[in-house]
């Protein structure tokens, strides 16, 4: 779900800056290969350091999705 959503957002004419946080290292590498303009971080999205690296304080929008959504 998250990958498809990121792809759809990237395809928008005025695509926003997208940062994906993926816990699984292999999945993060896979997502990074597929997405052309997004930043992909490997880590726990509940970790304050990861959220800091994602610069969440300047985000205009935050979406949380799981593989079961």
Show pLDDT as tens, one digit a residue, over the chain (69 residues): 899 999 999 999 999 999 999 999 999 999 999 999 999 999 999 999 999 999 999 999 999 998 775
What confidence score (pLDDT) does residue 67 get?
Answer: 75
Closest C-alpha to 44, from 58, 61, 60, 28: 28
3-state secondary structure of 46: coil
Please tell me the predicted confidence (pLDDT) of residue 1.
Answer: 84
pLDDT value of position 69 = 56
CA distance 38 to 18: 5
Indicate the pTM of the whole model. Answer: 0.88
Q: Are 62 and 50 in contact (CB under 8 A)?
A: no
């Amino acid at each position: 779900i998250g990958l498809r959503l990121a792809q759809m957002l990237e395809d928008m004419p005025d695509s926003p800056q997208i940062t994906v946080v993926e816990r699984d290292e292999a999945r993060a590498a896979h997502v990074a290969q597929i997405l052309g303009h997004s930043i992909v971080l490997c880590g726990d999205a509940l970790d304050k350091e990861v959220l800091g690296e994602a610069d969440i304080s300047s985000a205009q929008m935050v979406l949380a999705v799981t593989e079961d959504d």
